Chains A and B, each alone.
Chain A
Amino acid sequence: MMQKILQYSLLGQSFFLSAGRAVYWEGQRALVLSDLHIGKGGHFRKAGIPIPEQVQEEDLSRLGELVGEFDPKKIIVVGDMFHSAANSDLDKFKRWREAHSQQEVVLVKGNHDILKKEKYGEMGVQLEQDGYGLDNVVFYHQPPETAEGERFTISGHLHPGILVEGNGRQRLRLPCFWLPKDCLVLPAFSAFTGLFLVKPQAGEKIIAIADGELIPF
């Protein structure tokens, strides 16, 4: 399914937010996403909880579609790319990687990324321990508590979601992009993740994802 995109201007440059739960930075030809949690289903299955394998297949096929759509040079994952210790789900990712070997993959280490160091190299993933910078944007797994002066941050970790309320006492929870001051917090990429509801302060923007569409708040 073709996901809706929304062009967004930051620091005078063009960013495309996608309802496929990622953002494309045109100037750097970089696709940025967070919280992919590869191997989560496998981790559950190893503990006797039968989560269907299709869950990860769908995540990876959506990632493939985004790569096809934007043709990035680089894929930056701002943490929690892998869920836990190694399991056979990683082999599936390796196959995906072989089919998408043109792109460089950079991972900013998240709290879930606990694989042995050499594993990342084997999968063609460049591991960055303490954040990563491009131009005047820095990538951290966790959103910083205070804005870092001139620089803009892109992060993940929170799995941000928004509670929408309307007349007739309607309530909905939706995954979203959250834009506090000088920061962009990405929605969790994997569909097998929960939501952390954020309450935007004045001046902060939220772009919610619903039915493959993007709705700014």
Chain B
Amino acid sequence: MRAAYTPIEHRVRGLSDKAIAWLFIAPTMILLLAINLFPLIWTIQLSFTNYRANRPNAPLRNVGLDHYQTILSDPEIWQRMQATAHFVFWTILLQTVIGFALAYLIDRKFRGHGFWTTLILIPMMLSPAVVGNFWTFLYQPQIGLFNYVVSFFTGLAPSSFQMLGDVTLSPWAIIIVDTWMWTPYVMLICLAGLRSIPDYIYEAAEVDRASNWRQFISITLPMCLPFIMLAVLFRGIENFKMFDMVNLLTSGGPGSTTELASITLKRAAFEAWRTGYSSALAIILFVAVFGLANIYVKALNKVKAR
């Protein structure tokens, strides 16, 4: 910006608005085309080949839609999708219920609510990888704080259960950490929703002698719904792509009980080096996220229009 002070300024003085518009937008678009769209197109192209990134000189063969067929008919992939769906469903449910409840309580405007709100927000600002890493410490069977607290309240021996090593517990271990981290996010959006409801509506309801419960059901909830849905949309997309936190916590294990879609993708792409196959999987995942998000945005707009 500063360069415009120099004689260059005189040359651009005559620039039309249209020229400025393109000059301002072009760099961003070029960067996105180079680092987002071009890789996407390359991924599509690779997904039709048997390319392996660790053997760049091997003869390249066009395999057509084989990878897509293999993936979509592979029961293991569907198991991974189920694990992902389980994770997405429970995290969203827990975060929405707890987040909304917290927002509702904070909106009672007790003294010092601003301070406590800020404190509650801290977990969601942290690095998911670092969070995942330090929760592995809390989840240690003998020495971990989590196991200690559970045993303190239930009397179970702290080394009798392994949150990260047990097939039935590990899917819940990652749900607990994600809920700890992202409930504040849902809470913050719900809080905005609650605060967007004008007081006069409640006053009118009060005049009509509507009970508190009645007010909650027919004013608070419906008016907050677009906000709740927005939070669900963002969390849904993010958790469908979830990689960093879970990779650090369980890296998909034990076995493949917590192997979410992104972790499968990473294993195929960067451990098995099946680049062509993993490109096809990446495209399928992208289409799924994109499709779901689009359907959801349409629903969201309908709710908003009401």
Q: Do A and B bind each other?
A: no
